[in-house]
Amino acid sequence: METFVRRFIIMSIVYLGLAAVVGIAMLGSEKAMALKFVHSHLNMLGWVSMMIYGVGYHILPKFMGRQMHSKKIGEVQFWMANVGLVVMLAAYTLNLYNPSSALVALTVLAGVVELVSVFLFFYNMLKTMMPPVSS
């Protein structure tokens, strides 16, 4: 298994742990409900998406009987997905307690980094799977 693929899977489990802690805080306190976006995206972009990226990068090329299109794109995607997620959620949380337009801009910028990482996965997987292998 490639190092970045293993890292995707490890980080997805880390995000599940963090999301669960935030979720429990939300159960126990109305104030913590302000963190619903943080909880849902630690889960959806952290736990769920990163587990799918990791398993997808490992399994889909094997299903196709091919090499992954680009390991380099996968590595760049790993860093963009993680930095984008952590910075987006950190800036969002700081902005709740200390609102500023700079923090809003940083949240959006990090969200765009996250979005680019989604497109890198999309591109890398399509290039791996197309054209279909003739049987």
**Contact status: 77 vs ligand HEM (CB under 6 A):** no
How many C-beta neighbours within 10 Å does residue 129 have?
15
Q: ∠ CA 22-23-27 to the nearest 5 degrees?
A: 115
The closest alpha carbon to 56, from 98, 64, 112, belongs to 64
Chain residue whose CB lies nearest ligand HEM: 23
Select from 11, 12, 54, 114 the one that contacts ligand HEM (CB under 6 A): 114
Select from 45, 103, 106, 120 the one that contacts ligand HEM (CB under 6 A): 45
**Contact status: 25 vs ligand HEM (CB under 6 A):** no
**Contact status: 124 vs ligand HEM (CB under 6 A):** no
**Contact status: 37 vs ligand HEM (CB under 6 A):** yes
For residue 132, the surrounding DSSP H or E stretch is none
Burial class (CB in 10 A: 0-12, 13-18, 19+), 48: middle
Cis ω for the linkage preceding 131 (within 30 of 0) = yes
Select from 9, 18, 26, 60 the one that contacts ligand HEM (CB under 6 A): 26
Nearer to ligand HEM, 48 or 73 (CB): 48
**Contact status: 47 vs ligand HEM (CB under 6 A):** yes
Dig out the tokens for 126 from the structure: 């399509």
Residues in contact with ligand HEM by CB under 6 A are 19-20, 23-24, 26-27, 36-37, 39-41, 43-45, 47-49, 111, 114-115
